[in-house]
Structure 1
Amino acid sequence: MTQTQRAATWRSMLYVPANVPRFVTKAPGAGADAIILDLEDSVPVAQKDAARDGLADAVATCRTGPSAVLVRINRPLRMAVRDIEAAIACGVDGILVTKAMDGGHVRLLAEIVDELEGPTPRCVLLPLIESASAIDRMAEIGAASPRVAGLLVGAEDLAAEIGCTSDDEVMVAIKRRMAVAAAQAGVAAMGTLGSIADFRDQEKLRDVVARSRRAGFTGGSCIHPAVIPILNEGFAPSEKELDLARRQIAAAEAAEAGGRGSFEVDGRMVDEPILRRARRILASAR
């Protein structure tokens, strides 16, 4: 399935604890396509109410830069509803749905967002797959609401439940499966096929991002600003890819004008699947 217009296009998403002003202040200048103000794991339980109360100021600070502003909400449901109410009141661009269970769970939260936002919807949803029971429901979750723009795997939570490490091949297999589910739903597959926590090993980071892009992922998240340039570069088409895509599209137009249905570029036959990829590459550059 072709990605829908609502599919997320963020190459890089930076997690920032919403309760730490010095991190929030630095976030707009970090260069990320999106900033995720976190109300969940990075905020101690005793500070969650204060973090939610201060969300408006944090969002306003992040709006001083070019990044989209997202919020990761809490579970259980009563906390999630309060977080959603605060996020929508601040006019955020998206909400990360923690521990998405199934399509019904996502539809329930989407209904709350619909009620709060009114007739001009803006906020998208990014469900996080963080439980073993949600793995078989990933395609259902991705298609649960028109607000869903992408899927992510919460590697640490999911690995803890399964009993593997977050960089094990089990997790890689689940993430590859999620990329297929995202394609079925027409939304973006977000994340990477390996850990990018060690920002000092840039060669390894570039390799992980390159493998992830080849597998169909379109962007990733990080907790350190040093990773952002690698995500932005790695999830963007190279000049070589752009040049080939432009020449393939031009060749297709010339072939059609000449009444030919088949043609080649650089010694390779080009057909409709190749042209779809070329169009996607050019669209991602814009």
Structure 2
Amino acid sequence: MDHAARPFRSVLYIPGSKGRALEKAQSLPADAIIFDLEDAVAVSEKARARALLVQALMASDYGRRARIVRINGLETPWGHEDLAALRGMAIEGVLLPKVNAPGDIAALAELLPDLPLWAMIETPRGVLASAAIAAHPRMAGLVLGTNDLAKELGASFRADRLPLLASLQHCLLAARSHGLVCLDGVYNAFMDEAGLRNECAQGRDMGFDGKTLIHPAQLATANQVFAPSEEEINLARRQMDAHAAAEAEGQGVAVVDGRIVENLHIVTARQILSRAALIAEMENE
């Protein structure tokens, strides 16, 4: 899978037990939705949430939003029933929580032969095994569970996320080495727009495709930060034009704003323009 094939700027968790939220999600400006049957659903609500979610997925129109379902772990009393309910569903993937080793994904693949697989990386073991996890041929993406990871590491909260940076980068390397989507963890203070914007910018600069979110109020910020800016789009176009002109004159390189433009820069420029076009198409529907 090409991680740039579709936007994943904003990926909103929606509890499977919340009927109104499932309905409202059809109109939210999210690039993707993670329908959650795990952490966001109380034990007493597991069966009802599963049935409610299946009904919503079958009856509702979520448009071009990618639909991913986070199931309960296969070692729990609910994981296998979640899988049984999802077989044959027209969704973009199943997200397995707390993936610690490639064998966890292999077990899921055997039980679910017809859907793309996603892995939550939220433990030290998962981070260290992320390259092997990402190598499974059915894998579509990695999702960072930074709250659980910070707890497991004993890390302190810092606005710069310095204690987590090695883990985040390790998982990005794993995802990119296999062409997978890689999604940053949640920002818990959902009313703190400035803090969210800073963390989105950090994730974007590191290379994440987008950010997982816990509240619709966070969508606009993530969508803006993870989209190509007007300055980036303008620069990409000028690089393309300059490179084409240089080639027409038999030159190997071009110069834009005092910087050399080579083939590798043109690859990036094309990706930026393609991503911007996809986003514009989605937002104009």
Q: TM-score range by the shorter chain?
A: 0.7 to 0.9
Distance 1:231 1:202 in 2: 10
Letter in 1 for 2:274: A
Moved more, 90-99 or 225-234: 90-99
Q: Report the Cα offset of residue 7 of structure 1.
A: 6.2
Aligned position for 2:15: 17
SS in 2 for 1:190: strand
* Residues 242 and 68 of structure 1, relative CA distance in 2, 3 Å threshold: same
* Residues 229 and 64 of structure 1, relative CA distance in 2, 3 Å threshold: same
Q: Does structure 1 conserve the Cα–Cα contact (< 8 Å) formed by 2:119 and 2:143?
A: yes
Letter in 1 for 2:135: A
Aligned position for 1:96: 95
Could you report, residue by residue, the CA deviation over 1:158-185 in whole angstroms, capped at 9, with x for unpaired residues? 2222222465522232112211221112
Structure 2 residue 156 is matched with structure 1 residue 182: no
Aligned position for 1:82: 81
Choose from 247, 253, 264 the match for 1:256.
247
Please list every run of 5 or more consecutive structure 1 residues that lacks an aligned counterpart in the other structure: 118-122
Q: Does structure 2 conserve the Cα–Cα contact (< 8 Å) formed by 1:39 and 1:74?
A: yes
SS in 2 for 1:221: strand
TM-score (norm 2): 0.88
* Residues 207 and 6 of structure 1, relative CA distance in 2, 3 Å threshold: closer
Structure 2 residue 156 is matched with structure 1 residue 157: no
Aligned position for 1:120: none
Q: Report the Cα offset of residue 214 of structure 1.
A: 0.9
Aligned position for 2:283: none
SS in 2 for 1:149: strand
Letter in 1 for 2:171: M
Q: Does structure 2 conserve the Cα–Cα contact (< 8 Å) formed by 1:152 and 1:189?
A: yes
Matches within 5 A, 1:131-170: 131-145=123-137, 147-165=138-156, 167=158, 168-170=161-163
Q: Does structure 1 conserve the Cα–Cα contact (< 8 Å) formed by 2:6 and 2:275?
A: no
Aligned position for 1:245: 236
* Residues 107 and 253 of structure 1, relative CA distance in 2, 3 Å threshold: farther
SS in 2 for 1:99: coil
SS in 1 for 2:90: coil
SS in 1 for 2:44: helix
* Residues 182 and 8 of structure 1, relative CA distance in 2, 3 Å threshold: farther
SS in 1 for 2:69: strand
Distance 1:9 1:113 in 2: 25
Distance 1:189 1:229 in 2: 20
Moved more, 57-66 or 47-56: 57-66
Moved more, 166-175 or 226-235: 166-175
Matches within 5 A, 1:59-74: 59-60=57-58, 62-74=60-72
Aligned position for 2:281: none
TM-score (norm 1): 0.88
Please list every run of 5 or more consecutive structure 2 residues that lacks an aligned counterpart in the other structure: 279-285
Letter in 1 for 2:83: I
* Residues 263 and 64 of structure 1, relative CA distance in 2, 3 Å threshold: closer
Could you report, residue by residue, the CA deviation over 1:32-57 in whole angstroms, capped at 9, with x for unpaired residues? 11121110001111211221222221
SS in 1 for 2:151: helix
Could you report, residue by residue, the CA deviation over 1:122-175 in whole angstroms, capped at 9, with x for unpaired residues? x32221112211221111111212x32221221122222222246552223211
Distance 1:6 1:110 in 2: 24
Q: Does structure 2 conserve the Cα–Cα contact (< 8 Å) formed by 1:8 and 1:149?
A: no
Letter in 2 for 1:209: C
Distance 1:110 1:233 in 2: 35
Q: Report the Cα offset of residue 247 of structure 1.
A: 1.5
Letter in 1 for 2:182: A
Letter in 2 for 1:106: I
Q: How many pairs were matched up?
A: 274
Distance 1:23 1:177 in 2: 34
Aligned position for 2:203: 212
Q: Percent identity?
A: 37
Distance 1:249 1:54 in 2: 49
Aligned position for 1:40: 38
